Amino acid sequence: MNRRDLLKSAAGATLALKTGGLAAQGSGLIEKPIPGTDETLPAIGIGTNRYSVGDDQENLQLLQTLRTFSQLGGTVIDTAPMYRSSETILGRLIDELEIRDRIFLATKSDRDRKDGGPTRVDNSFQQLRTEVVDLMQVHNLRGLDMLPTLREMQSIGQVRYLGITTSRTAQFPDFIRVMRNEKLDFIQVNYALNDREAAGTILPLAQDLGLAVLVNVPLGRGRLFRAVQGQQLPGWAADFGARSWAQFFLKYVISHPAVTCAIPGMRRISHVEDNLGAATGALPTPAQRARQEAWFDSL
């Protein structure tokens, strides 16, 4: 039985319900399908590379941010062992908020076997306090020799989906080779209004191969906000329901037909409220997307 069949089987359905993969349906947010499955994900998730264990007040802020994210229907949470203590704080907060059954938890594998890859992956499960990781991704193609082990974990249901990530355009040629040569379910790639290279190569290939796509750094690590500092949101942004700069930028990303979910980094509640709004209402049409690009390039 292949992985897609597994998900459709009774065991797979039970697992999906247990881990919350299907729970997002009906949240009111725009949802996108995971190709080849009956499962959908809200089009905006959360990136946590700036999450870490802090003092009581900092931990409380992250708890409140994550609570708001979940209450507004967000489910996709992306982390990695490389993000300092992000997995540790997430494990604690998810437990405290009792939301494990409602979220789609994505983390990463980032070591070769000989450098302790398997131990590193085991540690992620421990830190995240979970028996099942919804998406395990090889981080920046580092430790690709872990793929057979991760597939084994997928076959017994410890990992539901398998993927690879990059956030560097210079890595795209290697990334494309792996996309073509390995059997994957997801990719994660950098794509934003100021960083559109993926749309020419990786995103169409993902569509051809039937892969789900997470988009990292969709706000250009905050650079997009600096680029429009002092500018008014153009009046025509209202035509596709963008009420803020963040929504203008994120609606651009999630309106690409290959994109399943964008994962902006968010430590603040106000950013969660703003960004999840991008996954409501209309999305830009191809003509409106072209207008966004031309407008941004003329800045």
Binding site for ligand NAP (CB under 6 A): 47-50, 78, 139-140, 165-167, 188, 216-222, 225, 246, 263-268, 271, 274-275
7 or 161, CB closer to ligand NAP?
161
Whether 81 contacts 120, CB under 8 Å: yes
Pairing of strands 261-262, 104-109: unpaired
Residue 186: which region, alpha, beta or left (left: phi > 0; alpha: psi -120 to 50)?
beta
Q: How far is the CB of 224 from ligand NAP (least distance, A)?
A: 7
CA 92 to CA 83: how far, in whole Å? 15
| Cα–Cα distance list, 248 to 36, 241, 257 (Å) | 29, 8, 17
15 or 105, CB closer to ligand NAP?
105
183 or 223, CB closer to ligand NAP?
223
CA 47 to CA 105: how far, in whole Å? 11
15 or 147, CB closer to ligand NAP?
147
Q: How far is the CB of 250 from ligand NAP (least distance, A)?
A: 8
7 or 62, CB closer to ligand NAP?
62
| Cα–Cα distance list, 56 to 77, 88, 221, 240 (Å) | 22, 15, 26, 40
15 or 248, CB closer to ligand NAP?
248
| Residue 160 backbone phi and psi in degrees, to 5 | -85, -40
Residue 86: which region, alpha, beta or left (left: phi > 0; alpha: psi -120 to 50)?
alpha
Q: How far is the CB of 216 from ligand NAP (least distance, A)?
A: 3
Q: How far is the CB of 44 from ligand NAP (least distance, A)?
A: 10
271 or 289, CB closer to ligand NAP?
271
Beta-carbon contacts of 33 under 8 Å, excluding residues fewer than 6 positions away, are: 39, 40, 260
Q: How far is the CB of 165 from ligand NAP (least distance, A)?
A: 3
Q: How far is the CB of 103 from ligand NAP (least distance, A)?
A: 14
Q: How far is the CB of 6 from ligand NAP (least distance, A)?
A: 25
CA 41 to CA 250: how far, in whole Å? 16
125 or 245, CB closer to ligand NAP?
245
Provide DSSP, 62-112: HHHHHHHHHHTT--EEE--TTSTTHHHHHHHHHHHHT-GGG-EEEEEE-S-
Alpha helices, DSSP H, located in 129-201: 147-155, 172-181
User: Nearest CA to 42 among 260, 271, 226, 274?
Assistant: 260
Q: How far is the CB of 156 from ligand NAP (least distance, A)?
A: 25
